Chain A
């Protein structure tokens, strides 16, 4: 609930429906857009109800991020390794998309568990494609080497026209995120969120997690990067990942978490904004209630006062009769 899951819910739902629905099929032709401007185009045709054509468009890369044929480094190999014979890459991709794949659902393994695993894997195509270079670098880190022919500083695209930076070394990889937000309130919230985030890292229970720093100015690792890529309005976050963070099964999760760090922060900023509004609304309601109670009290008091005034008046009237009495007395 708090973390974003890597498979796209919609893709997974369509795939599972299709696998369970048996032979009968309908035409499906739909688009969806995910955070960070990743677009999907899903097509099923009547003729081949078991073949899905999935096109993926990646976020627009900034000039410093290097792509190979529109795809990140090692993406093709990663797709082949992840899906095997189920997926066939169509070249060239559909107009307006960066990758088009033909997914043959008849080639899925018959075992239900394996099949679901593959389907989930297909639904997380975003992680496979965008995370490919990151995975490659972290794999080398796990074996404590530096990947050959890799620059000292690698820029990877993660949002339209934005990238984050990796400085790979043999024993550690330093990852720097320039954080940018559109809205002025978001910037303030994100900044304080990140400061708390760094603070939370210092608690004893989180001793083994990658160390994490936040600074308003670009850290030293980013020397020589064009200034355009460094105009962050919510500071810079730096993670240092050691080989123990990418061992075995941890690798996939680390890749996904690093890849969606910005989305994670922005999701939390939005949610906390929402919760703050809820609180404010509740507060206003309770104040209004208190106000109303006061108002009723005051009205009651006023009524009381009016009542006592009326009684005084009565007394006065009574007094008048007293006077009359006294007049009578005088008369006597």
Chain B
């Protein structure tokens, strides 16, 4: 039996969430937050003991403390629950802005993903990992080192996320691997031209608006309206509101009118439990349902530093890309027929928010 006869393991580590599963399935098996809870009490115990202590005992204590610190950690939802329940665990986010920052916790995260979540033997499967388009080659080297030396994987491919996004739309009727991918992640947003499956590295743009900014904007809106949310939870609530209720709109004015005419239909409620006291609270969710995603198209409502709307960025972006790919990139955007069929809204569709009409 060799690894070819088994499905490959796919792990997509994002800044916010990690998606993992097996090749051939429609959905990932698990989607968990990319977070590791590390026990701090051991590392503080591992500090040098007072001077009088015998050297050997000290070494032994440090050693066993180190071993325990290695073993005592949790990932994903479990990590969040642990850190909320007790103060001995501190959260570490191994990936920042699409780049791996902390290799120690990243390795532990992978270890748990493979052994405890997917429960597979890494020697038996090929692995597909992903990276953001602006990753340095050293990072890839490091990843390969961990995968091959620690986990002994038989084979590894590190794919670029935007190419995979195009591959996801690859069907029998539409075989195109050319397009502009706007990859809005939790920590990084890139606009990437892909021509025939290859990333044109020189013309990648990144814009300083990410999923986290949407969350922050929603948080700010809800705070300004004076919703009854405990401050320590507000970011979390905003994130959940974003994931559950937000959508992109074709016209904000129409959307405002719709909400004002029938508030009962459009205004949603969110119910949560205060973590410390256990008391329940509810809050209304109103305009932020469509205003959140709107920051991509009208960035001036969120901050004053970056005010170019996404569609303008994309336009200039294609203008600046190599001339022989421009035509294909424009074509990949939207055709006239599609435009007539679906209306102007198609240009604003964003798969994160239910904008695919």
Identify which of B91-99, B120-128, B288-296, B332-340 touches chain A: B120-128
Q: A2-B71, A277-B146, A277-B149 are known contacts. Are A33 and B125 too (CB-CB below 8 A)?
A: yes
Residues of A within 8 A of B118 (CB): 10, 32
For B70, list chain A residues within 8 Å (CB).
275, 278
Asked if A60 lies at the interface with its beta carbon under 8 angstroms from chain B, I say yes
Q: How far is the CB of B143 from chain A (nearest CB, A)?
A: 13
Q: Let me know if A9 and B116 touch, CB within 8 A.
A: yes
Q: Majority SS of interface residues in chain B?
A: mixed
Instruction: From the candidates B6, B73, B74, B150, name the one contacting A273 in the complex (CB within 8 A).
Output: B150
List chain B residues, Cβ under 8 A from A60.
1
Q: Does A98 sit at the interface, judged by CB under 8 A?
A: no
CB distance from B148 to the nearest CB of A (A): 11
- The residue from B6, B24, B107, B117 contacting A9, defined by CB atoms under 8 A apart: B117
CB neighbours (8 Å) of A186 from chain B are 152
Contact B120 A274 (CB under 8 A): no
How many Å lie between the Cα of A29 and that of B73 in the bound state?
A: 33
- A16 CB to closest chain B CB (Å) equals 13
Contacts of A33 in B (CB 8 A): 6-7, 22, 120, 124-125
Interface string of A25-36 (1 = CB under 8 A from B): 000011111111
Say yes or no: is B17 at the interface (Cβ < 8 Å to chain A): no
> Do A182 and B22 touch across chains, with their CB atoms under 8 A apart?
no
Contact residues, B100-139 vs A (CB, 8 A)? 103-104, 107-108, 111, 115-125
B287 to chain A, nearest CB (A): 30
Q: How many chain-A residues does the 8 Å CB contact rule pick out?
A: 34
Residues of chain A lying within 8 A (CB to CB) of residue B284: none
Instruction: Closest B residue to A281 by CB, please name it.
Output: B103
Q: Which residues of B contact A30 (CB under 8 A)?
A: 22, 24-27, 29
Write out the residue numbers on chain B whose beta carbons fall within 8 Å of the beta carbon of A271.
111, 115
Q: Chain B residues near A36 (CB, 8 Å)?
A: 121
Using known A-B contacts A1-B71, A10-B30, determine if residue A35 contacts B1 with beta carbons closer than 8 Å.
no
Complex CA gap A25/B146 in Å reads 40
Residues of B within 8 Å of A270, CB to CB, are 111, 115, 122, 150-152
Query: Does chain B have a CB within 8 A of A325?
Result: no
CA gap between A37 and B27 in the complex, in Å: 21
Question: Could you tell me if A277 and B150 are in contact, using CB atoms closer than 8 angstroms?
Answer: yes
CB-defined contacts of B121 to chain A, threshold 8 Å: 35-36, 263, 266
Task: Report B-chain residues with C-beta under 8 Å of the C-beta of A151.
Answer: none
Which residues in chain A, 101-115, are within 8 Å of chain B measured between CB atoms? none
Using an 8 Å CB-CB cutoff, how does the interface string of B140-156 with A read, 1 for contact, 0 for none? 00000010011110000
Q: Could you tell me the dominant secondary structure of chain A's interface residues? A: helix
The residues of B that contact A183 with a CB separation of less than 8 Å are 123, 152
Q: How many residues of B are counted as interface, with CB atoms below 8 angstroms from the partner's CB atoms?
A: 36
Is A261 an interface position by the 8 A CB rule? no
A to B contact number (C-beta, < 8 Å): 90
- Is A8's CB within 8 Å of the partner chain B? yes
Q: Is residue A267 contacting chain B, with contact meaning CB distance below 8 A?
A: yes
Docked complex Cα distance between A324 and B111 (Å): 79
**Closest approach, in angstroms, between the C-beta of A15 and any C-beta of chain B?**
13
**Identity of the chain B residue whose Cβ is nearest the Cβ of A59 in the assembled complex:** B1
Question: A4 at the A/B interface (Cβ < 8 Å)?
Answer: yes
Complex contact A31–B1 (CB within 8 A):
no
Nearest Cβ on chain A to B24's Cβ, whole angstroms: 6
- Residues from chain A with a CB closer than 8 A to the CB of B26 are 29-30
Chain B contacts for A182, CB-based, 8 A: 123, 152
Q: How far is the CB of A22 from chain B (nearest CB, A)?
A: 18
Nearest B residue (CB) for A276: B150
CB contacts under 8 Å to A, within B23-77, are: 24-27, 29-30, 70-74
In the complex, which residues of chain B have a beta carbon less than 8 angstroms from the beta carbon of A160?
1
Contact A32 B1, beta carbon cutoff 8 Å: no
Q: Collect the chain B residues with CB atoms within 8 Å of residue A161's CB.
A: 1
Min C-beta distance of A324 to chain B, whole Å: 61
Closest residue of chain A to B110, judged by CB? A274
List the B residue with the shortest CB-CB distance to A263. B121
Chain A neighbourhood of B22, CB < 8 A:
30-33
Partner of A278, one of B104, B117, B125, B152: B104
Interface residues of B in 275-318 (CB under 8 A from A): none
Task: Give the residues in chain B near A263, CB-CB below 8 Å.
Answer: 121
A-B pairs, top 4 by smallest CB distance, nearest first, are A30-B25, A35-B121, A274-B150, A34-B119
Beyond A30-B24, A37-B1, 8 additional contacts (C-beta under 8 Å) are A1-B116, A33-B7, A33-B124, A33-B125, A182-B123, A267-B115, A270-B115, A275-B70
Q: List 24 A-B contacts (CB under 8 A).
A: A1-B116, A4-B115, A4-B119, A9-B116, A9-B117, A9-B119, A10-B29, A13-B29, A32-B118, A33-B7, A33-B22, A36-B121, A37-B6, A161-B1, A183-B152, A266-B121, A267-B115, A270-B111, A270-B115, A270-B150, A271-B111, A273-B150, A278-B70, A282-B104
